Amino acid sequence: MGSHSAAFAHSLQGWTAGLPILGATPLWIWAFLSALLVIFLLALPFGGIATYVERKVAADIQDRIGPNRVGPIGLLQFFADAVKMLAKEDFIPRGADKFLYNLAPVLVVVGACGAFAVLPLAKALVGADLNIGIFYLVAVTTLIAPGMLLGSWGSQNKWSLLGGLRGAAQIVSYEIPVALSILPVVLISGTLQIGSIVEQQGWVWQGEMMKNYHFWNMFHNPFTMFSVFILFVGGLAETNRIPFDLPEAESELVSGFNTEFSGMRFGLYALGEFCDVFVMSAMVTALYLGGWQVPFLNLENMWVTLPSGLIAIIHFSMFMAKTLFVVFIVMWLRWTLPRLRVDQLMGFCWKGLMPIAFFNVIGTALWMWIFHGKSMMQLVMGQ
Amino acid sequence: MDVDFPREIHDAIGDGAIMENGMKLVLLLAQVMTLVSALVVVLHPNILYATIFLLFSFLGVAVMFVFAGADFLAGAQVIVYVGGVTILVLFAIMLTQWLYEAKLKTTLMKGLIPFIVVMGALGPILIKETLKLSDSVSATPPEKMGEFAALAKTQLIGQALLGNYLLPFEAITILLLGALVGAVWLARPE
Amino acid sequence: MNILDWATSLQAYLVVGTCLFLLGVFAVLSRRNTIGILLGIELILNAAGINFVAFSKFRAAAIDGQVFTLFVILIAAAEAAVALAVILRFYRLKETINADEANILRN
């Protein structure tokens, strides 16, 4: 485990071995390039396409058509947007603190894109399956909070500052219910490694007889059914999506923490936000919805032997289908719910989510103790 | 090679000597970043900038932890310091300064005596003793280092916390609860 | 021994730790701003953590040093929270966070 990107770098080096300059390139450059490739092939297009999908979903919900000019059914709209952002004047407000103003979007993007390294896209497709995977994911996304705070301070605008302060306070507060809803999964799986967590959510077939009825962690016990929703709601708040979009509440704060940002820096903020939404949805999928596991099937141990490439593709599509469904719910909520007030936001976190999350952790621990770690499914099937 | 990186890093870099040197370079850069950022923390007149560079110093220390086989600690370091302490300090700065006058200077004259104390007395002694100590410490045999690198450290830390270190662990939880209540009480509105 | 090999040695870890400690002490002594003093204390605690982790790898090859570092990190968090609450309180009282102004008990 954990060496897939290295294997990729090795094969890159292998393919180019005969070529004049590329052949002499050391392995670590290939490793670096393959890491870059993951970001450019995954994070950037996702950020772009997400803006298109978001506008289409919004249009559908409001009974409009949405973007339809650039390319077939407006599909290339995100490309036009990117070109527009790149071509805009590189503008820094006169009173702004230049260092902070430049640093902030970078922190946000690093925080959001860094998390892609541990996302298990398929069984054989994960950047680095660290054995502290889920812990790393929580750690690297914390970089977003200082990014927002510093950017809002650096742009010397009171609306920005209010937005940034709200955003940081919100992220720091909602991190706790999110972490507490990750804990039940760790209790169940006994590991922090995301690949292993996903692997344990599949059914194990052996010949004709089904040996092990493991299923998605969401259905492991009654408590995890609640904690998946807390994780989702907490994730919504951490990514500043409606109904928790107070940091950029456009009806009160102009555009919140990114008011003064334009051009590519604004683009970085937007990219970071969309990547963050994807990472959050992928986290929900991997921890509770079985990740790349196909429900009720174990592709590697079936009555027919599938080629490994096909299995990888099916796993990948399964993971993307689940994750994008969660992303769709996020967009759906945006056009359905009104925004919370600040005091409601904090009250909801500390008085609503936190006690339930604690209850879930203790409940799951008790369940694991009483039923010796068996899931509901296993108990029903009489294992 | 006589160096033992954590297992993940070993897997990721393969066996190439160039890769290994690249990883060492990353560690060296992290150490340099830690110290240079710490220097800025100490000397920068603007307290906001000092805090930001403290963040970079913390990140450098986290990288050093990873290379010393303490990946769980690196995660904890980033979560607690970057996500917690730095944000708290930034909040405190933004709440206690006038909005656009975040500059509070260290007067250089007042820095003179500490400078003499640190550079003239404390520094040379400590550095000398450190060098002497690190020379006198007998190196761990390589096979033992290899064993250590292969350990599942997160599990071991968990077992240690609920085993040998149960009492300090419980004491820390009570301390944290006390700190939480105390901080809320101190910062309560009038 | 070239510098890249040196970076992975015990000595490098200890030297970085010591320098962090010295910088922290200097910050605590020279800053008049209470938040600046707090930053210095955080540097000192980090230096302690580096030493624990380094010895845990290079000398003991055991996990205990890491457990202690975990305790150090937790205590630093608690300390920062309380210290900042005190600073906010002090700011409300005196409209400044300069440590020299904290002299009520002297008069």
Q: Tell me whether residues B18 and A156 touch, CB distance under 8 A.
A: no
**Helix (H, G, I), strand (E, B), or coil: what is residue B32?**
helix
Name the minimum distance, in Å, from the CA of B174 to any CA of chain C: 11
Of the ranges A176-185, A187-196, A260-269, C23-32, which is most confident?
Answer: A176-185
Name the minimum distance, in Å, from the CA of C100 to any CA of chain B: 12
- Residue B15, pLDDT > 60, answer no
Q: Whole-angstrom Cα distance, residue A268 to residue A289?
A: 30
Instruction: Give the mean pLDDT of A1-9.
Output: 50
- Residue B174, pLDDT > 70, answer yes
Name the minimum distance, in Å, from the CA of C22 to any CA of chain B: 6
Does the CB of B55 have a partner CB in chain A at under 8 Å?
A: yes
Q: Whole-angstrom Cα distance, residue C25 to residue A52?
A: 53
pLDDT digits (tens, 9 = 90+) for B44-72: 877 888 888 999 999 899 888 888 878 88
Q: Whole-angstrom Cα distance, residue A170 to residue A118?
A: 25
Domain residue spans of chain A: 48-84, 88-380
Does the CB of B47 have a partner CB in chain C at under 8 Å?
A: yes
Q: Tell me whether residues B130 and C18 touch, CB distance under 8 A.
A: yes
Q: Is B183 left (phi over 0), alpha (psi -120 to 50) or beta?
A: alpha
Contacts with B25 from chain A: Cβ below 8 Å: none
Identify whether the C-beta of residue A131 lies closer than 8 Å to the C-beta of residue A197: no
Phi, psi of B12 (to 5 degrees): -70, -30
Contacts with B76 from chain C: Cβ below 8 Å: 70, 73
Spell out the residues 6+ positions from residue A88 whose beta carbon is closer than 8 angstroms to its own: A262, A263, A264
pLDDT digits (tens, 9 = 90+) for A320-370: 888 889 988 988 888 888 888 888 888 898 888 999 999 999 999 998 888
Does the CB of A3 have a partner CB in chain B at under 8 Å?
A: yes
pTM score of the predicted model: 0.83
Q: Whole-angstrom Cα distance, residue B50 to residue C104?
A: 28
Chain A residues 55-84 with CB within 8 Å of chain B = none
Q: Tell me whether residues C27 and B42 touch, CB distance under 8 A.
A: yes
Contacts with A130 from chain B: Cβ below 8 Å: 8, 71
CB atoms within 10 A of CB B145: 18
Instruction: Give the mean pLDDT of A164-185.
Output: 89
Compare A165 and A25 and report the one with higher pLDDT: A165
Contacts with B86 from chain A: Cβ below 8 Å: 146
Does the CB of A225 have a partner CB in chain B at under 8 Å?
A: no
What is the pLDDT at residue A52? Answer: 82
Compare A17 and A149 and report the one with higher pLDDT: A149
Does the CB of B163 have a partner CB in chain A at under 8 Å?
A: no
Helices C10-30/B108-116 angle, 10° precision: 140
Compare C69 and A34 and report the one with higher pLDDT: C69
- Residue A166, pLDDT > 80, answer yes
Identify whether the C-beta of residue A125 lies closer than 8 Å to the C-beta of residue A316: yes
Do chain C and chain A touch with ≥3 beta carbon pairs under 8 Å?
A: no
Does the CB of B83 have a partner CB in chain A at under 8 Å?
A: yes
Contacts with B179 from chain C: Cβ below 8 Å: 78-79, 81-82
Contacts with B51 from chain C: Cβ below 8 Å: 35, 39
Name the minimum distance, in Å, from the CA of B146 to any CA of chain C: 9
Spell out the residues 6+ positions from residue C85 whose beta carbon is closer than 8 angstroms to its own: B182, B183, B184, B186, B187
Identify whether the C-beta of residue C45 lies closer than 8 Å to the C-beta of residue C72: yes
Compare A381 and A32 and report the one with higher pLDDT: A381
Contacts with A151 from chain B: Cβ below 8 Å: none
Name the minimum distance, in Å, from the CA of A123 to any CA of chain B: 17
Opening angle at CA A76, ends A71 and A81, nearest 5: 130
**Residues in chain C with pLDDT values less than 50:** none
Instruction: Give the mean pLDDT of A148-175.
Output: 85
pLDDT band at residue B99 under the 50/70/90 scheme: very low
Name the minimum distance, in Å, from the CA of B18 to any CA of chain A: 7
Does the CB of B45 have a partner CB in chain C at under 8 Å?
A: no
Identify whether the C-beta of residue A188 lies closer than 8 Å to the C-beta of residue A360: no
Among chain C residues, CA nearest to B170: C71
What is the pLDDT at residue A359? Answer: 92
Q: Tell me whether residues A28 and B22 touch, CB distance under 8 A.
A: yes
Among chain C residues, CA nearest to B173: C74
Identify whether the C-beta of residue A377 lies closer than 8 Å to the C-beta of residue A213: yes
CATH 1.10.287.3510 fits C3-98, yes or no: yes
Name the minimum distance, in Å, from the CA of B16 to any CA of chain C: 15
Spell out the residues 6+ positions from residue B132 whose beta carbon is closer than 8 angstroms to its own: none
**CA dihedral angle for residue A37, residue A41, residue A43, residue A45, rounded to 10 degrees:** 150
Does the CB of B179 have a partner CB in chain C at under 8 Å?
A: yes
Buried b (16+ CB within 10 A) or exposed e, A9-26: bbebbeeeeeeeeeeeee
Does the CB of B175 have a partner CB in chain C at under 8 Å?
A: yes
Contacts with B14 from chain A: Cβ below 8 Å: 3, 6, 10, 27
Name the minimum distance, in Å, from the CA of A172 to any CA of chain B: 7
The shortest CB-CB distance from A28 to any of B18, B86, B94 is to B18
CB atoms within 10 A of CB C101: 14
pLDDT band at residue B178 under the 50/70/90 scheme: very high
Domain residue spans of chain B: 7-106, 152-190
Spell out the residues 6+ positions from residue B41 whose beta carbon is closer than 8 angstroms to its own: B50, B51, B53, B54, B57, C23, C27, C39, C40, C43
Does the CB of B56 have a partner CB in chain A at under 8 Å?
A: no
Identify whether the C-beta of residue C46 lies closer than 8 Å to the C-beta of residue B52: no
The shortest CB-CB distance from B157 to any of C36, C67, C75 is to C67
Identify whether the C-beta of residue A69 lies closer than 8 Å to the C-beta of residue A77: yes
Does the CB of B91 have a partner CB in chain A at under 8 Å?
A: yes
Among chain B residues, CA nearest to A28: B19
Topology of B7-106 in CATH?
A: Four Helix Bundle (Hemerythrin (Met), subunit A) (1.20.120)
Contacts with B135 from chain C: Cβ below 8 Å: 11
pLDDT digits (tens, 9 = 90+) for A189-236: 888 888 888 888 877 665 555 566 677 888 888 888 889 999 999 998
pLDDT digits (tens, 9 = 90+) for B114-148: 777 777 777 778 888 777 777 777 666 667 777 77
ipTM: 0.86
What is the pLDDT at residue B177? Answer: 92
The shortest CB-CB distance from A150 to any of B18, B52, B79 is to B52
